[in-house]
Structure 1
């Protein structure tokens, strides 16, 4: 199959901006890792007009997908975890071109999972967890149990990913298989929510109590990254400044929920400065060590 695809990737490999090419082949009748394509070509380039360009091919009754991804986009995905297959592609893919051992370096980076990168990824995952958990808790309080179930299930998934990262691993597509061995307590919460015999409201109530404790115990370590960024300057931050800070962009829409949770837990202090409006103040934030 690789020989058939050679004309496609050789043209890309000859370009000086191409950093590496990997092939990921389908090994099962239904293979989510390749979106059920027979083969995926991952081509990483220094710069591209589009950060992520995809083209599909047919050949000899088979189908292939080519993903041309800019280096900056790859780095963003590795931090945010928003492209769940990327790590699996990099780990399991066969290297067929590697300029200056760039792909080998990526594989080593994934294996070693450097501390700075890990704390940043933990912070992003914790922010997502807080938002889903908070929304689920509010829906539970208003007795919207089915909607609460959906948000709590997502919160549990983020808790599972967070646990995997804390143990020094990148979350895989089969994250619950990882968690089952790493933190069986979280796996037990998941199975209880899905298949417990208690009525749904009781299952949700017990899970919310367990989550409250888990979040509180993780809050300080899980916010190391954002507090470090906030402490890089002595004056307080406006929310807009936090949103625009390059090191915090991966937090996205979840930043506000995380900030309010950190205030509640005594990890962030609120400062108020006067405006021209009587009794109206601008809120600014600083991290508490």
Structure 2
């Protein structure tokens, strides 16, 4: 459909505000990539009053969509992982217009995946993982197995994305295809959960124990972002952490991540007296144990026992 859509993007490409234009066409087995549209034009602009502008077109029996996004919105999607399709679009889309090689440089940046970018993405993905794992375990202990199953599935998905990020890649829509090659152990856990013929409660029990090891083994690495920020000063209130410009992306998951790190001994609490009897203010500081190694000797002992 490129020749049909050419008048649309050529008109806008002449605007100095336009950085680049990509064409993403529907593939027979991957129609979900374009949200069932036959083609998507992704146009990136420097700035706009609307960070996202979408327009739909029809040509005979074909339909197309124009997505105009600002650079800042694009960066936010890439940082937060809140638009899973955007990475696929950037990597696989056909470049129709590229001002000063903006798109080529962006694609190179994504392939290189700067270490700092990995650290913040790992921290946010880890916080989501902790949230899902914690909530799922609470449902499991209440014997609410279907709700527990839903949360453990989501926690495995966050674990898979985390494994991909750790290896320096951007998580794509087909994250399980990626993780099957990158971390077969996590892929095996996913198969155990969805394909096993064991009773649901037994499958969930197995996954919680296995996931606990996988989570704990990543605790230090995935908390380097928040700990690095906490080094800026000795003590923090929760509100100060929440309002920090690089931590506010964690959203509602920041609190549960903080409590997990306290439980693991990586962050300490400091209590300060208030005017009320036996009531204390709570402050947070980095633990001296953070640089010590964590014992991971219980590697999959439960799974091995179950298989014997």
Q: TM-score, normalised by structure 1?
A: 0.96
Question: Counterparts of 1:106 and 1:194 in 2: how far apart (Å)?
Answer: 37
- Residue of structure 2 equivalent to 1:126: 126
- Residue of structure 2 equivalent to 1:204: 204
Question: Counterparts of 1:279 and 1:268 in 2: how far apart (Å)?
Answer: 23
Tell me whether 1:279 sits opposite 2:283 in the alignment: no
- Residues 1-289 of structure 1 aligned to structure 2 (within 5 Å): 1-28=1-28, 31-231=31-231, 233-288=232-287, 289=290
**Larger CA deviation: 100-109 vs 22-31:** 22-31
* SS of corresponding position for 2:7: helix
Question: Counterparts of 2:229 and 2:117 in 1: how far apart (Å)?
Answer: 13
* SS of corresponding position for 2:262: helix
- Cα shift at 1:29: 6.2
- Cα shift at 1:59: 1.6
Question: Counterparts of 2:169 and 2:30 in 1: how far apart (Å)?
Answer: 26
- Cα shift at 1:92: 0.4
* SS of corresponding position for 1:247: coil
Q: 1:278 to 1:14 in 2, by over 3 A?
A: farther
Question: Counterparts of 2:164 and 2:256 in 1: how far apart (Å)?
Answer: 22
Q: Deviations over 1:156-207 (max 9, x none)?
A: 0100110111111111111111111111111111011101121111111111
- Cα shift at 1:269: 1.3
Structure 2 residue ranges without an equivalent (≥5): 291-308
Question: Counterparts of 1:45 and 1:140 in 2: how far apart (Å)?
Answer: 47
* SS of corresponding position for 1:67: strand
- Cα shift at 1:30: 5.6
- Cα shift at 1:280: 2.3
- Cα shift at 1:273: 2.4
Question: Counterparts of 2:130 and 2:285 in 1: how far apart (Å)?
Answer: 19
Question: Counterparts of 2:146 and 2:261 in 1: how far apart (Å)?
Answer: 28
**Larger CA deviation: 7-16 vs 78-87:** 7-16
- Cα shift at 1:80: 1.1
- RMSD over aligned CA atoms reads 1.3
Q: 1:190 to 1:8 in 2, by over 3 A?
A: same
Q: Deviations over 1:106-140 (max 9, x none)?
A: 10011111111011111111011000000000000
Q: 1:181 to 1:105 in 2, by over 3 A?
A: same
How many equivalent pairs are there?
288
Structure 1 residue ranges without an equivalent (≥5): none
Q: 1:234 to 1:30 in 2, by over 3 A?
A: closer
* SS of corresponding position for 1:256: helix
* SS of corresponding position for 2:217: helix
Question: Counterparts of 2:276 and 2:52 in 1: how far apart (Å)?
Answer: 47
**Larger CA deviation: 73-82 vs 5-14:** 5-14
- Cα shift at 1:287: 2.3
- Cα shift at 1:272: 2.1
Q: 1:12 to 1:277 in 2, by over 3 A?
A: farther
